Structure 1
């Protein structure tokens, strides 16, 4: 029987099911939330957003926050992603209720990237 780890990730790649549920921290080590899912551009195949679940208590009342993928860095010591944001910055960030799903249009993307001071990529 093949080991699951060997079939779902390599040193530089990770399977999407392993990203979902991974913790997200700020540089100070405070846990901000977890990755709910990853949004991938259908044409380029590049990950564009990590949607982080943040807020609430035990998942109740939490919202989803699309974060530009390039803002995250994987930290092997933490076993999670690090993003240079504070909880206060997230309280005003673009988000949606976990039971909703926005249309990820270019206008929506420009809003998200603009909030974080980034240029929206044209894949």
Structure 2
């Protein structure tokens, strides 16, 4: 399901943005969206969106890949900056080959990493070619 199909309140009927899609979107309207790569291969779908509450920004989208009916799926924390919204096809684009994603650092639903660990974050950002944001200390 995509943000247009989940638009219960008509908030996306009028776009006031010069970019792809609305400038502001509800997080739950993005969960479940498909993720494809530039070769048009299906990489999975968004299961969760992780917020850096102290900094007031989105840090990661948790991507589910592989498995069947939720069994054997692997989860990946993908830096938000690595994703592009494809409004024409109502999905996200992640510029990563499918075989590279298969070997990406991931986790299972019962063993999530400490996403606030700066060493973990650095490794994930390095893998996807993005720059970690500055850390906000409360």
Q: Partner residue of 2:29?
A: 18
Q: Partner residue of 1:33?
A: 44
Give the whole-Å Cα distance in 2 for the aligned partners of 1:75 and 1:117: 20
Residue 19 of structure 1: how far off its partner (Å) = 1.2
- For structure 1, which runs of at least 5 residues remain unmatched after alignment? none
Q: What do residues 58-108 of structure 1 show as CA deviations (whole Å, max 9, x unaligned)?
A: 321001101110111111121110010111111111100022221111111
Q: Contact conserved, 1:8 with 1:15, CA < 8 A, in 2?
A: no
Q: Contact conserved, 1:20 with 1:36, CA < 8 A, in 2?
A: yes
Q: What do residues 35-79 of structure 1 show as CA deviations (whole Å, max 9, x unaligned)?
A: 010111111111111110001123210011011101111111211
Could you state the TM-score of these two structures normalised by the residue count of structure 2? 0.79
* Structure 1 position 6 matched with structure 2 position 23: no
Q: Contact conserved, 1:65 with 1:93, CA < 8 A, in 2?
A: yes
Q: Partner residue of 1:103?
A: 114
Which structure has greater helix proportion? 1
Give the whole-Å Cα distance in 1 for the aligned partners of 2:9 and 2:106: 32
Match of 2:62 among 51, 67, 87: 51
Give the whole-Å Cα distance in 2 for the aligned partners of 1:5 and 1:15: 11
Could you state the TM-score of these two structures normalised by the residue count of structure 1? 0.88
Aligned-residue Cα RMSD (Å) equals 1.9
